[in-house]
């Protein structure tokens, strides 16, 4: 996040999705709590345990050369749980964890109804615990500010972000569910650059990443578009095959078996294997440390 242009990240929930994020040219994978929960057909409400979310991030990390940023909800509990979390995620080679300042049980930020914030003291304690627990300087802790989501206003969002950076956060994710980017742009205008800013423009999708970059935002996370694309494509494909009694009609718009084999590094039909295109490069992962 320290150099070049805005860092572009996309969400995934399994190794194949993570590989497709990498192939598309993204800089990092977001191990999305919503996507992983959805893959179990479970609400994104803290139902999956830390080991289950860690496993998902870990297998995605194994499938790619780019960094994985793990959505760790509220840090899985109190400061002691955060310490355990950092140890486990760091050991797994995850580049960054993101914790949000919500009171447990967490609710997805786009869910209707009340969103309760943790106190500043409680959350800064968790950030400080995370930073103290990390073994390597490259490990990155992103503090996610939910004040705009909770309707607590811009001043509260800024106050909290400053407190989280003071407690050691390496970056601030300012989340918004406005239909326009105005509030994250205002936040960015008023942010004095103490730490890089991250946004998730799910509800304001028309904002161009160049506009975010010009506003000083350093990372954009397209958190769930892959899941949504897959759901729509699978619904349409299964529906059509079931209705028509054959699969010919869907053939032109689904990936060929050859493409799947290519992804997996398998030779197709009687062809000789032309160089394992599905293999990882073996390059060292770059840090996303600012
Ligand atoms: C996720 O992808 O799980 C997120 C982003 O945390 S949001 O769904 O907007 O809460
Ligand atoms: Mg989440």
Nearest protein CA to atom 9 of ligand 1, as residue:
109
Q: Is the shortest distance between the CB of 202 and ligand 1 below 6 Å?
A: yes
The token pair at 199 is: 């946004």
Q: Which one, of 153, 149, 154, 145, lies nearest residue 203 by Cα?
A: 149
Q: Is the shortest distance between the CB of 85 and ligand 1 below 6 Å?
A: no
Question: Angle at Cα 94 formed by Cα 93 and Cα 97, nearest 5°?
Answer: 150
Q: Is the dihedral of CA 37, 42, 46, 48 positive or negative?
A: negative
> Alpha-carbon distance 219 to 175, whole Å?
12
What is residue 273's predicted lDDT score, i.e. its pLDDT?
52
Helices 50-63 and 79-91, packing angle to 10 deg: 20
How, if at all, do strands 197-199 and 171-174 pair? parallel
Q: Which bound ligand lies closest to the C-alpha atom of 175? A: 1
Length of the chain: 290
Ligand 2 centre to CA of 193 (Å) is: 25
> Alpha-carbon distance 290 to 286, whole Å?
11
Provide CB contacts within 8 A for 132, sequence distance 6+: 83, 168
The widest CA-to-CA distance across the chain, in whole angstroms, is 65
How, if at all, do strands 96-100 and 68-71 pair? parallel
Ligand 2 centre to CA of 143 (Å) is: 13
What is residue 104's predicted lDDT score, i.e. its pLDDT?
86
DSSP SS3 for 142: strand
Q: Which residues of the chain have pLDDT under 50?
A: none
What is residue 3's predicted lDDT score, i.e. its pLDDT?
74
What is residue 234's predicted lDDT score, i.e. its pLDDT?
98
Ligand 1 centre to CA of 35 (Å) is: 8
Q: What pLDDT digit, counting tens, does each position of 212-233 carry?
A: 999 999 999 999 999 999 999 9
What is residue 36's predicted lDDT score, i.e. its pLDDT?
98
Q: Which one, of 197, 200, 206, lies nearest residue 224 by Cα?
A: 200
């Amino acid at each position: 996040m320290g150099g070049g242009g805005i860092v572009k990240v996309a969400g995934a929930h399994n190794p194949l999705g993570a590989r497709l994020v990498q192939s598309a040219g993204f800089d990092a994978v977001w191990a999305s709590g919503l996507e992983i929960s959805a893959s179990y057909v479970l609400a994104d409400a803290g139902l999956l345990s830390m080991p289950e979310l860690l496993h998902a991030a870990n297998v995605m990390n194994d499938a790619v050369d780019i960094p994985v940023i793990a959505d760790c909800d509220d840090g899985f509990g109190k400061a002691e749980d955060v310490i355990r979390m950092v140890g486990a995620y760091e050991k797994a080679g995850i580049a960054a964890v993101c914790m949000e300042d919500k009171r447990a049980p967490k609710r997805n930020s786009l869910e209707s109804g009340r969103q309760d914030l943790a106190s500043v003291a409680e959350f800064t304690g968790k950030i400080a615990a995370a930073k103290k627990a990390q073994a390597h300087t490259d490990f990155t802790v992103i503090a996610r500010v939910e004040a705009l989501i909770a309707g607590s206003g811009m001043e509260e969002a800024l106050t909290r972000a400053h407190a989280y950076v003071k407690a050691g956060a390496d970056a601030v994710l300012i989340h918004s569910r406005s239909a326009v980017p105005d509030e994250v742009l205002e936040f960015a205008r008023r942010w004095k650059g103490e730490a890089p800013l991250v946004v998730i423009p799910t509800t304001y999708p028309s904002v161009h990443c160049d506009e975010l970059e010009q506003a000083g935002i350093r990372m954009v996370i397209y958190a769930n578009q892959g899941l949504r694309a897959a759901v729509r494509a699978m619904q349409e494909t299964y529906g059509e095959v079931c209705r028509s009694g054959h699969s010919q009609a869907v053939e032109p718009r689904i990936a060929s078996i050859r493409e799947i084999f290519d992804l997996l590094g398998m030779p197709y039909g009687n062809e000789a294997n032309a160089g394992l295109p599905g293999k990882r490069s073996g390059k060292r992962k770059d840090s996303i440390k600012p």
